[in-house]
Structure 1
Amino acid sequence: MAREFDDDFSEFVRRWSPALLRVAFLLTSDRGEAEDLLQTALLKTSRHWDRLADREAAYPYVRRVLVTTHTSWRRRRRVHETLVDQLPERGYGDDSGSLGAGRALQALEQLPPRMRAVVVLRCYEGLSEAETAEALGCSVGSVKSHSSRGLARLRLLLEAPTPAEATR
């Protein structure tokens, strides 16, 4: 039984970790924190892996653990960073690939945590309103309003000129 658990869980981790890490990164905007979040979610999942009868439901289960763990961390988190008024034009280790993706990520960072989670699950993960509500443990109406407001705010943030564009 233990060998079957190891093989099943290891296969799940190999197959789904890259996708789950992308979701964690979109929630946290920090590669290191995203890796920690994913590792914590996988640890929590491993403790209950034998109770998960439907292995096809494992990805949504871990995704929900990611979101709830991130929410929990945000509630308890103390600020350990040095806060600055303006972000640098391009951060160190920015592997976003393109200037547009970096700008979109900066805009996403400005959304409140719950709104950000809704936008990530709806737009990036492609979940329906009902699936998003289930993943976040809230009502469908709440998902609709967060999604609508979040996308509207993102549009405004992305349409506004960057400081470099404003000085031209």
Structure 2
Amino acid sequence: MDRNDSFRGFVAGHQQALMRTAYLLTGDPHQAEDLLQSVLLKVLGRWSRLSRVEHPEAYARKALLNQYISWRRHRVMNELPTADPPDRPYSGEDSTVVRLVMRQALMRLPPRQRAVIVLRYYEDRTERETAELLDCSIGTVKSQAHYALARLRELAPDLAPRLADLETEEAYR
């Protein structure tokens, strides 16, 4: 198998999971595609070495997180925060509404906190795995998760019971 075939196989096997992570980080399908494409170009450039390691996906995932954080640091924000609440507050258990409310709140977190929430609760990664991917200590992961969950409770108070459930599950892991 030549280099291009093995890279195509890697992309076919991991693109969906990496795209999901990119989307959860950016909150925008187009930005997620751009983010993933730029990371896959970096991975391709290093593929001759990466194809020989046991888990090239770990490199790709870490590159995805680093690129996202770098983009957030260097780009001009096109989001305009508003003090006006939505026309209709969330009330009820409709899973679509819950996902939308959570996504909107998630998009208002700082990049590092959002990355911790995505890795810990969406991808169900351990604190150790999250710390390794973000190149920080386990204590930093714990504190960032704590602050992020507190901020999410402020941004989406109707979801506070669900967020409390996450923290309770976390305490028993």
TM over 0.5: yes
What pairs with 1:75-86 in structure 2 (closer than 5 Å)? 75-79=73-77, 81=78, 83=80, 85=82
Partners of 2:72 and 2:150 in 1: how far apart?
Answer: 24
Unpaired stretches in structure 2, ≥5 consecutive residues: 88-94, 160-173
Residue 152 (structure 1) shift: 3.0
- For the residue of structure 1 that corresponds to 2:76, the secondary structure is coil
Partners of 2:79 and 2:120 in 1: how far apart?
Answer: 32
User: Aligned pair 1:50/2:48, yes or no?
Assistant: yes
Residue 125 (structure 1) shift: 1.4
Residue 82 (structure 1) shift: 6.8
TM value normalised by structure 1: 0.80
> Match of 2:153?
155
Question: In the alignment, residue 68 of structure 1 is paired with which amino acid?
Answer: N
- For the residue of structure 1 that corresponds to 2:125, the secondary structure is coil
Partners of 2:60 and 2:80 in 1: how far apart?
Answer: 31
Tell me the matched-pair count.
151
User: Aligned pair 1:130/2:124, yes or no?
Assistant: no
Partners of 1:41 and 1:63 in 2: how far apart?
Answer: 9
Query: In the alignment, which of 62, 68, 71 is matched to residue 64 of structure 1?
Result: 62
Residue 88 (structure 1) shift: 6.9
Residue 109 (structure 1) shift: 0.9
Spell out, residue by residue over 1:88-123, the C-alpha distance to the aligned partner (whole angstroms, 9 max, x if none).
Answer: 77xxxxxxx822211110111121110110110111
Unpaired stretches in structure 1, ≥5 consecutive residues: 90-96, 162-168
Distance 1:147 1:21, change over 3 A: same
* Superposed structure 1 runs of 4+ greater than 4 Å apart: 86-89
Partners of 2:151 and 2:22 in 1: how far apart?
Answer: 21
Distance 1:88 1:21, change over 3 A: farther
Question: In the alignment, residue 53 of structure 2 is paired with which amino acid?
Answer: D
Spell out, residue by residue over 1:11-65, the C-alpha distance to the aligned partner (whole angstroms, 9 max, x if none).
Answer: 111121111111001111111100000000100011111112224x122211110
> Match of 1:31?
29
Residue 135 (structure 1) shift: 0.7
- For the residue of structure 2 that corresponds to 1:98, the secondary structure is helix
Quote the RMSD (CA, aligned, Å).
2.3
| Percent of aligned positions that are identical | 45
TM value normalised by structure 2: 0.78
- For the residue of structure 2 that corresponds to 1:104, the secondary structure is helix
Partners of 1:70 and 1:148 in 2: how far apart?
Answer: 21
